[in-house]
Amino acid sequence: MKKITLALFTLLALSACKDEVGTQAWCDNMADTPKSEWNAQSAVDYAKHCVLQDAVGSEAWCNDLEETPKGDWSANDAASYTKHCVF
């Protein structure tokens, strides 16, 4: 039982270290990763968040969201804004 608990705790701790998809840190990390190591979903996410739009948490993304009426924000927008632009 202790081994299972330790394994789950370790898995949880390691998964918390990954950058959130679409953030500036994630985009920078993906840009440094060889394209041969990308999977299809990573390529789609990179194109969507880093090429076609500003990365979540970037200064331009925060400014664009500030100009958007708060009623048009999604719950994810509000959470990401608080996490990346306020703190």
Q: pLDDT of 19-58, one tens digit each?
A: 888 888 999 999 999 999 999 999 999 999 899 988 888 8
40 located within any domain:
yes
In the structure encoding, which two tokens stand for residue 48, read together? 């969507």
**Count of domains for the chain:** 1
Per-residue pLDDT at 11 exceeds 50: no
49 located within any domain:
yes
**DSSP-derived secondary structure letter, 83:** I
In the structure encoding, which two tokens stand for residue 19, read together? 């950058």
Q: What is the pTM of this model?
A: 0.62
- Cα dist from 56 to 1, 52, 61, whole Å: 40, 12, 6
pLDDT of residue 20: 86
pLDDT of residue 8: 52
In the structure encoding, which two tokens stand for residue 30, read together? 């993906």
Contacts of 21 by beta carbon, 8 Å cutoff, 6+ apart: 45, 49
Q: For residue 39, what are the domain limits?
A: 19-86
29 located within any domain:
yes
pLDDT tens-place string over residues 78-87? 999 999 898 7
